[in-house]
Structure 1
């Protein structure tokens, strides 16, 4: 699908989204076509990333030069010197990362086997070298970015197999990949690449484009990417120093404010619920072209972190007010037990479906509840209350167990809470283990939370739920032939379903590696759902779980996933990584697309998972739903929660205001005449008071 109305937004016609891709046209072909590499040997020898052999338009990589198999340039002195300079690292990188796969698609799965080399082994002390593993993640980022720079620079989409790109919004594009990855470049100290990106922003990026864009995606990726880049550049100027004379110190903020002003038009609906899309040039909001014009729950309620931080930076409170009004409108829509249906109409602020799920269209609503509470230093308890209500509702209505092994399943209620559940989990749902753990300890480690006496029995139960859901998400990877998760996984469950509210069931402590292990029976992957879009949610939760629990198992699981990505999604000839079509096939057909969240989220979370815990600590920053880090800040005098929740009953339903008592009670028959006289007199007094109030005073007070 292309970035044109209505094709720029995902297709959600099918309620189970079997063929849905993640964003607009990024992976939006109606079906994937298995791709093969047809490059000749000479094509693959063009000096991809090798200093001195690059195309002239590409920058030199002064941070860490690429090195590829010397067999491709045997006898060239510069390569031998490069290998000597880089010592073992160059050799390990050489040993099979790009070579040997050649142009044979049947050997593509072997293309990345040499990436990690002995880094997956133990150090002299018998301990895993996590610093070395983190460097391998950086190497994967360098490969991904290098392919994009070489073959598709400036394009919003990158197709690494065909080595092409495409604009979502011609003629200049939105910088979809560039802006989304700015803070990853900073964290990994990729200075030359960041300078190149800044130059593009300064000389090419413009939002004066007469084109429609998706409100939510543009906010979380583009606005979020610019704001995070500003934060990191400001707070950590030595992290990835660049020449600020090109574009100025305020480049990111200038672009963010410009984009933020345009996005505000989407909130100009009768209810304040943002329209699904808007025109960038006019700033006019546009209702969804599907779903009867309704906006999705996640889209409407996952722009608040970005708008609030923009308000704090600029001092412009209208960003804050528009975003906050959405939360009141959604809460007033009166859902039961804090569980919101996935579509809400911007004209009426009423839900248009009964479908409840924490996968697509619903997920980040719940994520942003607790993160809004943390973002403003826990000074807005309304969002904490809403999160606690929703989490209780999830435990009551949505958590069931698989059969026969009793994995914890966060299911769906496609027809509402009073109807049957569907034992289905999008990979998107795997953000939830990390979010639950974050809420339980408020971002600090379990050890620290216990020391402070802040872990109640219920919070410990929440942590156990997070651990069990994390195990389920990891099982989605371990059950496939590629060790990569499918887009959607179903589960065999007990009949009737055994709910968490009926009592906790025990799952296997470990995953047996046997191909006929009983636990494998619990997972069901349907043919239409076998693709893998390089999604970050499981790695994201592993990062949170490692930081919070300190259990090295989560790091080890992360390394398993990283190895699988390298092995099965690497594109030959140094072009990068691609989403794949079937996680149950080895080799899997490629979808020929590198999602923007591959560098923006997945690789970033790998890098943080394998790195020191004091980098972006969870009690000092909040990550938006696109992995862009914003600082936690105080409300101050200017900002405050401008609304209050309506009173609710035990099920979370709003208690409707009782009608006011009538001014005059129905009189007894004996007193009817007296009552009528009294009523007439009261009516006369009221009429006189109204008449007097309509007279304009000589010196009226100014209107508020």
Structure 2
């Protein structure tokens, strides 16, 4: 594998690092993959020929047999000599169960290349791509680079140097954020700003990416110009105007306002400008000030008042990454900002007390929702989005270190409880795939909790679609890195094979979302989300990475769009600018 951590990594702890003092003015060899599975007969690369009774036929067949035998022997030696060629065995009838981790990585890279090459050929630069009809369109008038920027670091990790070169050329030649267009503050931050920052990091700090990132960050800053400091749902990139949501009575979603912090804090670290940091952390102070006593927050917040709206509480859509970033803010700055550790621990305690449930008859652990606040019943609905939680719990229990190392150092009751819950939820998320006809998970599942139930979960037809989401394989990657339990690789491979069987286009030009995971053959949705390339395939690829020094979890933190940033020291320029009234958490040791 050609990828590793960036060489000559700047010392973030050094007060002399020149880039920290740089003040921004405010302005802004892999060839195209060819499918080897176009053979509709299902035969390998050769075809059987019938035996004939022509004169000399026997002698010809003797010669043919000798040549054929030598050919097969040569192929055997070739594939045996190079483990990276193991995918070829599949074309000759081999079983994927026999493949090494390296060979499985090769097939995952192949899936990425099929998806990327189809997009590059038929829709390069377009923000929205339909792989079945091979059409697409832009969101902004001149495009946002939605797919190109989002998957750039995946190509870097996979060592796709030529593809990276072409993608960078497109970004530098075609991409501008000087457009009179309203963008979603959250999605643009995690995908575009996060993608550019990660590309800067993984490219050994190529400043071309940083210049684009800072230009975009400056255009996003006006979203924070509300009365409370809670960002508006949208922002106009050209007029520098924050825009309240046109729905939900003007409220922003909690996950969206509280999942900008990793990106903006990292911009501050790279530029030395405190403004980005201060804007992002102010949001957390406002949330904590108005937080309910049970520390589980509603999924809407008003940007003008800073008050929560509604009673719906969940760890699925509009709530998920708020809880994710509580922990990851703590990890990003070297475990220094204890205020976020406390908020995270309090939240997980409340989740375990209020929302964790068991299904019947098999007792799968799941996380439900409050439709009408903590006083009401728990809904047994669980989004696939909630499957980020097993990995997050494992990160929280170990700070990203291998489990056997973390357990040597002050292992506590809370850590043990979080790790146990992580394993149970990981099993449930896997079962959300196994319960369907295709082996691919639905968008939402409902769990049965009544006595006499014969099935643990139900899937409603309107929730049976699949968007190629990454959350389960994200958690599988984290669980594998931390525990080294091979079951997580096994589950991840089963999921990938299901995608390859049912969402891969027959012409080998890409993968698509599905209308229903309970129909065979499934109806194709004709849409490829950018996170298929940016997250799902990246996490699957890293799941089978044998070298744990590649993006080690104790040294990097992944944003909620799977863009890795290095952990860093806040000193000397930055500090946590607010305090909670509650003391920092203490953990009871086992």
Q: TM-score per shorter chain, which class?
A: 0.7 to 0.9
Aligned equivalents of 1:410 and 1:152: distance in 2?
A: 39
Aligned counterpart, 1:625: 560
The answer to whether residue 536 in structure 2 is matched with residue 568 in structure 1 is no
Partner of 1:155: 126
Which residue in 2 is equivalent to 1:320? 277
Partners of 1:645 and 1:323 lie apart in 2 by 16
2:97 to 117, 121, 135: 121
Cα deviation 1:55-91 (Å, max 9, x = unaligned): xxxxxx745753535869x99xxxx9xx999965999
Quick check: 1:215 aligned with 2:185?
yes
Q: Which residue of 2 aligns with 1:455?
A: 411
| Cα 1:403/1:229, change in 2 over 3 Å | same
> Contact 1:487–1:531 (CA<8 Å) still a contact in 2?
yes
Structure 1 residue runs of 5 or longer lacking an equivalent are: 1-60, 96-113, 123-127, 236-248, 496-517, 651-704
**Mapping of 1:307-346 within 5 angstroms?**
307-346=264-303
The SS at the match of 2:357 is: strand
SS at match of 1:234: coil
Q: Aligned partners of 2:159, 2:234: CA distance in 1, in Å? A: 35
Instruction: Give the equivalent residue in structure 2 for 1:284.
Output: 241
Aligned position for 1:536: 470
Report if the CA contact (8 A) 1:63-1:191 is conserved.
no
Which one of the candidate residues 332, 339, 345 is aligned to 1:388? 345
Matched, 1:229 2:199: yes
Q: How far apart in 2 are the matches of 1:487 and 1:407? A: 18
Q: Distance in 2 between matches of 1:219 and 1:339?
A: 24
CA contact (8 A) 2:234 2:242 kept: yes
Q: Could you tell me how far apart the structure 1 residues matched to 2:32 and 2:417 are?
A: 46
Match of 1:488 among 439, 444, 452: 444
d(CA) in 2 for partners of 1:230, 1:468: 37
Q: Distance in 1 between matches of 2:391 and 2:146?
A: 26
Q: Which residue of the partner structure matches residue 17 of structure 1?
A: none
- Which digits, 9 at most, give the CA deviation of each residue in 1:283-338, with x for residues without a partner? 21000000000000000000000000011001111000000000001111131221
- 1:256–1:117 distance in 2 versus 1, CA, 3 Å: farther
Counterpart Cα distance in 1 of 2:76 and 2:33: 10
* Aligned partner of 1:369 among 326, 334, 341: 326
Q: Deviations over 1:580-619 (max 9, x none)?
A: 0000011110110011000000000000001122210100
Aligned equivalent of 1:139, options 105, 110, 114? 110
Cα separation, 1, equivalents of 2:540 and 2:365? 24
Aligned with 1:640 (options 575, 578, 583): 575
| Structure number with larger C-alpha Rg | 1
1:574 is paired with a residue whose SS is coil
SS in structure 1 at match of 2:445: strand
TM-score w.r.t. the length of structure 2 is 0.85
Report the Cα distance in structure 2 between the residues aligned to 1:590 and 1:365, rounded to whole angstroms. Answer: 32
The match for 1:255 is: 212
Q: How does 1:72-151 map to 2 (within 5 A)?
A: 118=94, 120-122=96-98, 129-151=100-122
Q: What is the alpha-carbon distance in structure 1 between the residues aligned to residue 337 and residue 92 of structure 2?
A: 45
The residue that corresponds to 2:10 in the other structure is none
CA distance change for structure 1 residues 520 and 206 in 2, over 3 Å: closer, same or farther? farther
| Conservation of the 8 A alpha-carbon contact between 2:87 and 2:106 | no
Moved more, 425-434 or 518-527: 518-527
* Unmatched 5+ stretches in structure 2: 1-28, 47-70, 586-590
Looking at structure 1, the residues matched to 439 and 250 of structure 2 have their Cα atoms a distance apart, in angstroms, of 39
Distance, in Å, in 2 between the alignment partners of 1:640 and 1:551 is 38
Displacement of 1:645 in angstroms is: 1.3
CA deviation profile, 1:445-481 (whole Å, cap 9, x unmatched): 1111123x23223211211111011111111000000
Preserved CA contact (<8 Å) 1:227 1:252: yes
Q: 1:116 to 1:425 in 2, by over 3 A?
A: farther
Conserved? CA contact 1:68–1:94, under 8 Å:
no
**Distance of aligned partners of 1:67 and 1:309 in 2 relative to their CA distance in 1, 3 Å threshold:** same
Whether the 8 Å contact between 2:330 and 2:337 is mirrored in structure 1 is: yes
Partner of 2:533: 599
1:433–1:465: 8 Å Cα contact kept in structure 2?
Answer: yes
Residue 479 of structure 1 pairs with residue 435 of structure 2:
yes
- How far apart are the structure 2 equivalents of 1:174 and 1:116? 43
Residues 286, 68 of structure 1: alpha-carbon distance in 2 compared, 3 angstrom cutoff: same
Structure 2 distance, partners of 1:64, 1:153, is 14
Q: 2:376 aligns with which of 400, 416, 419?
A: 419
Aligned to 2:252: 295
The alignment's TM-score, normalised by the length of structure 1, stands at 0.71
Greater CA drift, 224-233 or 397-406: 397-406
**Distance apart, 1:637 and its partner CA:** 1.6
Q: Distance in 2 between matches of 1:84 and 1:282?
A: 62
Distance 1:589 1:642, change over 3 A: same
Residue equivalent to 1:407: 364
Contact 2:33 2:117 in 1 (8 A): no
Match of 2:511 among 558, 577, 581: 577
Q: Determine the C-alpha separation between the residues in 1 that align with 2:454 and 2:163.
A: 43
Query: Is the alpha carbon distance of 1:233 and 1:543 closer, same or farther for their aligned partners in structure 2, counting shifts above 3 Å?
Result: same
Q: Give the 3 Å change call, closer, same or farther, for CA 437–163 of structure 1 in structure 2.
A: same
Q: Which residue of 2 aligns with 1:190?
A: 160
Cα distance in 2 for partners of 1:388, 1:145 equals 40
The separation in 2 between residues aligned to 1:158 and 1:558, in whole angstroms, is: 26
Work out the CA distance in 2 between the residues paired with 1:306 and 1:614: 23
Counting matched residue pairs gives: 523
After TM superposition, list the pairs within 5 Å mapping 1:421-436 onto structure 2: 421-436=378-393
CA distance in structure 2 between the partners assigned to 1:63 and 1:459 by the alignment: 47
Residues 1:173 and 1:396: Cα distance change in structure 2 (over 3 Å): same
Question: Which residue does the alignment assign to 1:30?
Answer: none
Is the contact made by 2:33 and 2:110 (CA closer than 8 Å) also made in structure 1? no
